[in-house]
Amino acid sequence: MNPNGRYHDEEIINALKIWSKCLPSETDNTVKYLCDIYPESSKEIFQRIETPLKVILDLETKMYYLGCNSNRIENYFRSPYTYKFYIDPKSKEEYDSEKAESFKEIANNDLNHLKMLETEFQKVYEIYCQNYTYINGGLEEDICDHGVLLSNVYCYDLEGDSFGTCFVMKHIINPFNFLNDNINEKSSTNDLTEIVYFLDIIHNVETVLSHSSGIATYRVGSTYYYGFKDKQKKHSSSGDDENNYNNETILFDGCKTNWVEKKFELSDTKFLKSFLRSNTKSNFNDEVSNENNMQNIAIDRNSITIINNQTIYYHISNIGKLIESIDNNVMKQIQHVMIDNLLNISNNLHE
């Protein structure tokens, strides 16, 4: 028994309690402070606490993507398009091309067997997010007149016949005022009150495959960051600019977490053949030679468990149902219990 195990668990619990009492907008600073307070538990604190999503530009493809814990190494975030690492634009650290290249090599070596799964998940999740927010512009039109919608999927390796998948989405309505406080606003009205709404959704899914019982277990930890930015602009008849512009920004933000665990039986023998470690190399070669299947890729370099078209669609179906159900339930709570009340308070303040 590890004599420090109980002490370590207490540190994690205390860190999570402190984080739950802090403003969501201060999550990044809170995590840094907690890691300073509990240096021995800093790695697990980073893994346990999801921070608000970062918006990063892939300089090669000129496409935006989201930075989260699952595609992060230090202050660098992996692009899902090129596998290159770019630094957090808000970081004070200077970009180091050699370090970024070394991170890319690490990602290629560790995640090569999950690339196909990540690509297929990305295609489906992008369509889901567009329908969920009623924005039809894809990633090539990230920033549009009616908001910002970004969605990405990142896979990561776990021990044994298991893997992790992180589904992230950022939705901002009226993003130009939110992302750039110094933007020059133009309005012909005498009084203008603008409320900017933002939403970050992070679903971290651990898929655990049991080769003994034939059961797939999905553990979904979800984090929602949301809020309002209330911006007022007043014009007066005087020529004094200070009187003409009376800007007041009030930030309402919140965070909600959710945890779900669901088990599915692998009733189809074809699924079992593809999932289990008991596959022999001859089975693997037979699958590869089958022209009706996608390319089969080992899900773990230490096993013969493979990913093919059947296993991908199986995971997409199961995880997709879970994410849709969680989003519907949590967003109803946020909408009816929290956001509607905040809107009423904001409107009363400006009557």
Task: Tell me the C-alpha distance between 85 and 107, whole Å.
Answer: 9
CATH number of 112-349: 3.90.1150.210
Q: What is the DSSP string of 270-323?
A: HHHHHH-TT--HHHHHHHHH-TTSPPPEESSTTS--EE-HHHHHHHHHHHHHHH
**Which of 261, 155, 158, 270 lies closest to 214, judged by CA?**
270
The one-letter code for the residue type at 249 is: T
Per the CB < 8 A criterion, the answer to whether 126 and 80 are in contact is no
Q: CA 59, 63, 66: angle at the middle one, nearest 5?
A: 100
Q: What is the pLDDT along the chain (351 residues), one digit of tens a residue?
A: 344 455 567 888 888 888 888 888 788 888 889 888 888 888 888 878 889 999 999 999 999 999 999 999 989 999 999 999 999 888 888 999 999 999 999 999 888 888 888 999 999 999 999 887 765 444 444 444 556 789 999 999 888 778 999 999 998 876 444 444 444 444 444 445 566 778 999 999 999 988 777 888 999 999 999 887 665 555 444 444 444 434 545 467 888 999 999 998 875 545 444 444 333 333 334 433 443 444 444 444 444 345 566 778 889 999 999 999 999 999 888 887 776 776 777 677 766
Map residue 60 onto helix, strand or coil.
coil
Tokens of 196: 């900017």
Domain boundaries, the chain: 1-49, 112-349
Per-residue exposure over 124-142, b if at least 16 CB sit within 10 Å of its own CB, e if not: bbbebbbebbebeeebeeb
| Angle between helices 5-21 and 27-37 in degrees, nearest 10 | 150
Query: What pLDDT was estimated at residue 72?
Result: 93
Query: What pLDDT was estimated at residue 82?
Result: 94
Q: What's the pTM?
A: 0.75
Per the CB < 8 A criterion, the answer to whether 271 and 244 are in contact is no
Query: What pLDDT was estimated at residue 266?
Result: 73
Task: Tell me the C-alpha distance between 45 and 319, whole Å.
Answer: 25
**Which of 47, 337, 9, 99 lies closest to 204, judged by CA?**
47
Task: Tell me the C-alpha distance between 231 and 195, whole Å.
Answer: 6
**Which of 294, 315, 297, 293 lies closest to 306, judged by CA?**
297
Query: What pLDDT was estimated at residue 165?
Result: 96
